[in-house]
Amino acid sequence: MTSPYNDEITLIDLFLIIKKRFKLLVILCFISIVVSGIVSVMLKPVFRTSFIMRMPNIVRFPVARDVVEYTFVSNIETENIITGLEVLRKEQRIADLAQRLGLTPAMAAGVVKISASRPSTENSMLQIIVDVRDPSVINEFTAGLLNYLNQHKFIQDRISLQKENLMQLKKDIQTSIGDMEELNNAVSRQIKQNGITFLGFDPIQMNKDIVEAKQSFKEVENAIALLRGFEAVTEPVIPQYPLRSKKLLPIGIATAASFFIGVFVSVVAEWVDRRRKLAATR
């Protein structure tokens, strides 16, 4: 060991210090194991569930023989809204979270995590994953989340705008069908009465156009009917067992941390002893 009056500590000194104050290290590690073990046992288990949510995202219907896609609520926009709920949870703003989801404060306090993920091949679906302390609140949480999303002003404005567009398109198609049918009937009467053979257009093609327009009209009606907002495609399963316990992990972390803290305390104590001995010899 180096001179007691030297402030520097070598690896050999560190080993001797640990050996000298081994009991202190053992006591600190034991206390940390006991405390972390008690905390781990006292923590309530966490239950996880998930469900698939259909978004009011893609509306498809043929217009002029083409399929048109309207994306009026994207996955990213919905994820940002759900992330806002997770921020409230992390910041422990339980009252605000409960108010948005229509839950009691006690139910909202039992929510451990809220997250959303996008399926790689499906743009109109979103998977919601929620961790809770009490699995009995899962159904209330699901209903509250869907209601919150559907009542969100941003979502309501988008759905309202899309519905107006579809209603106008429906009216235009209906007018077009009426005009074509009126022209077709008039031409048919002329043919029967006067025997006209030259029309300037193909009546067979017009009949096909009328059929296609009626199909488009039906598709638009279906699209309007589908504007119901967010819906749960799959119901969340109420788990009977919690997530796999990781109680040994915090115990191991606490033990390692207490060991290094003990080494630090031992080094500081040894340094203080050396300074005292140096002062006593002067």
- pLDDT tens-place string over residues 147-167: 999 988 888 888 888 888 888
**How many structural domains are present in the chain?**
1
Q: Is 23 within a domain?
A: no
Q: Is 24 within a domain?
A: no
The backbone torsions φ and ψ at residue 148, rounded to the nearest 5 degrees and listed phi first, read: -65, -45
Q: What is the pTM of this model?
A: 0.60
Residue 91: pLDDT band with limits 50, 70, 90: very high
Residue 276: pLDDT band with limits 50, 70, 90: confident
Q: Is 11 within a domain?
A: no
The backbone torsions φ and ψ at residue 58, rounded to the nearest 5 degrees and listed phi first, read: -115, 125
Residue 2's pLDDT is: 46
SS3 category, 52? strand
- Dist CA 74 CA 56 (whole Å): 9
% residues pLDDT > 70 (the chain)? 82
Residue 68's pLDDT is: 54
Q: Which strands make up the sheet holding 125-132, listed edge to edge?
A: 111-117, 125-132, 47-54, 231-232
Residue 271's pLDDT is: 78
For residue range 223-261, what is the model confidence (pLDDT) as tens digits?
A: 787 777 888 889 899 998 887 666 667 777 878 888 888
Range scoring the smallest mean pLDDT among 153-157, 160-164, 192-196, 264-268: 192-196
Q: Is 270 within a domain?
A: no
For residue range 64-83, what is the model confidence (pLDDT) as tens digits?
A: 445 555 567 778 888 899 99
Domain range for 64: 47-232
Q: Is 191 within a domain?
A: yes
Give yes or no for residue 106 having a pLDDT over 70.
yes
Q: Is 2 within a domain?
A: no
Q: Is 165 within a domain?
A: yes
Q: Which residues does 37 contact at the CB level (< 8 Å), separation at least 6?
A: 247, 251
- Dist CA 26 CA 16 (whole Å): 15
